[in-house]
Chains A and B, each alone.
Chain A
């Protein structure tokens, strides 16, 4: 297998993976290929239970695929690296720490030698970017669900990771809060460029946030189709109601139905 293509930050090449169970191997990914250029935002959609979360763990180096390779920044991923930021549907903030201390947590692991003032300044700057200025000293339990998710995003970005892995971070939020956070993602990208992979069930979210949308087939998941969304950011919320978007959503919906086996291509 050849090395990574220049300019691609992440390359998932021919990845096949199965979980070992008592009833024998349980395949979740089959010959999966995804390429994410540096600085771009990749949204991954697919039927539920198709192995999307396995994908995040493979990229984070928390698991090694049975077959195939995961390349990150020109290096083969074989173990966890310090250059990944993760945010989940459950914000998993530490209740005994303040919001500021929560955001600083990755720096304590990745850059233990960094002066405290510098860590704090970095965390404060990010919190201000997502509109959490003034909440630095609060405990997570004092914040709303949307605010907790914002803090979780800051924690994922504080150490300037090569790749931001988002596993349905907006899935448990109400519709208005979710749209707020979508816009926050765009304004964050404008001020603090990052490469991201977003796992989601929400097609509107995938089109609004993604530069490319990857549709996975049902289990074992393989790349069903890749849709480019060549609209520069930050994108206005009105984009959601534009005819182009509606057409893209219709196509994605059809691809998902094919992936679920409900419709023949």
Chain B
């Protein structure tokens, strides 16, 4: 039975690639109009050193932004989840900020911190990804059933003890759910800056130069590399979730 789990998605991917290849072949599209899967390999090999260099830049800046988002988002979520007043004060601000399309923020921070490319990129990855973390931690904490609190409070436990022994672990599944969303968002943030700002770095910049040259094989190769990085980081989060919140998963899942 187990081989089916691997074979079925693998076959699906293969079919997709064959159809893609066939489409490009039948339509007779040249390289500057559309790439086919068989073009991607040569593109990777030709620009190998750039993929390693830029891939690393994109990865570390995304992870750094995500790390800041985790610390800031969790703290904000804790504050909002534990204080009704601060929640009422901060929630509209947060929703408003989140509603701003982040592409419009890039020129603003590029102007504010001219030339600080690494800083701007990390800042953007952070700004775009902290929202789901803050909201889920806040909701997790504020929806804690009062009985959980009463059981410890009636024993004279402090607010901190209640938080540490019950509220925090109970919020972990929601936190990891949000972190999975945040990983994808952080990549979008990094790439926005890399693509929009001139003389950028990272895979977004490579994509931008490929676009300038109508180099479809390279553009698709970059997309593939970004997808690979995204998937890798996603599964790092899944592994952490198994480690710290494995209890929330039903057996057999």
A interface with B by C-beta (< 8 Å): 57, 60-62, 79-82, 84, 86, 88, 90, 92, 94-96, 105-106, 108-110, 139, 141, 155, 159, 165
Residues of B161-179 at the interface with A, using a CB-CB cut-off of 8 Å, are 161, 165-166, 169-170, 172
Residue from B145, B154, B165, B250 in contact with A60 in the complex, judged by beta carbons closer than 8 Å: B154
Chain A residues near B166 (CB, 8 Å)? 94
Chain B facing A: main interface SS: helix
Whole-angstrom CA separation of A165 from B155 in the bound complex: 12
CA–CA, A80 and B247, complex, Å? 31
> Could you tell me the distance between the alpha carbons of A95 and B170 in the complex, rounded to whole angstroms?
8
Complex CA distance for A80 and B147, rounded to whole angstroms: 14
Q: A80–B156 contact, CB under 8 A?
A: yes
Q: How far is the CA of A88 from the CA of B148 in the complex (A)?
A: 10
Among residues of B, the one whose C-beta sits closest to the C-beta of A159 is B155
Q: Which residue of B lies closest to A85 (CB)?
A: B154
B247 pairs with A109, CB closer than 8 A = no
User: A96 contacts B150, CB within 8 Å?
Assistant: no
Given contacts A92-B145, A96-B169, A96-B247, contact A81 B156 (CB under 8 A): yes
In the complex, the answer to whether B154 meets A62 with C-beta atoms within 8 Å is yes
Answer yes or no: B157 CB below 8 A from chain A CBs: yes
Looking at A109, A110, A139, A155, the one whose CB has the most chain B CB atoms below 10 A away is A109
Q: A92-B145, A95-B248, A139-B247 are in contact. Are A60 and B156 (CB under 8 A)?
A: no
Set of chain A residues within 8 Å of B161, measured between Cβ atoms:
109
| Contact call B155/A80, Cβ cutoff below 8 A | yes
Q: How far is the CB of A123 from chain B (nearest CB, A)?
A: 15
Cβ–Cβ contact B154 & A61, under 8 A: yes
Chain B interface residues toward A at CB < 8 A: 145, 147-148, 150-157, 161, 165-166, 169-170, 172, 245, 247-248, 250
Please give me the residue from chain B that is nearest to A141 by CB atom. Answer: B250
Contact A109 B157 (CB under 8 A): yes
User: A86 — which chain B residues lie within 8 A by C-beta?
Assistant: 147, 150-151, 154
Q: Which residues of chain B have C-beta atoms less than 8 A from A79's C-beta?
A: 156
What's the minimum C-beta distance from A224 to chain B, rounded to whole angstroms? 27
Q: Name the residue on A nearest B154 (C-beta).
A: A60
Q: From B158, which residue of chain A is reached at the shortest CB distance?
A: A109
Give bound CA distance, A90 to B145, whole Å. Answer: 10
Cβ contacts under 8 Å, A62 to chain B: 150, 153-154
Contacts of B152 in A (CB 8 A): 105, 109
CA distance A99 to B247 in the complex (A): 13
Q: Which residues of B contact A90 (CB under 8 A)?
A: 145, 147
Given contacts A60-B150, A82-B155, 6 further A-B contacts (CB under 8 A): A57-B150, A86-B147, A90-B147, A92-B145, A95-B247, A110-B156
Evaluate contact between B156 and A92: CB separation under 8 angstroms. no
Say whether A84 contacts B155, CB under 8 Å: yes
Contacting pair A94 B154 (CB below 8 A):
no
| Chain A residues positioned under 8 Å from B157 (CB to CB) | 109
- A159: chain B residues at CB < 8 Å are 155
Contacts of B170 in A (CB 8 A): 94-96
Determine how close the nearest CB of chain A comes to the CB of B147; give it in whole angstroms.
5
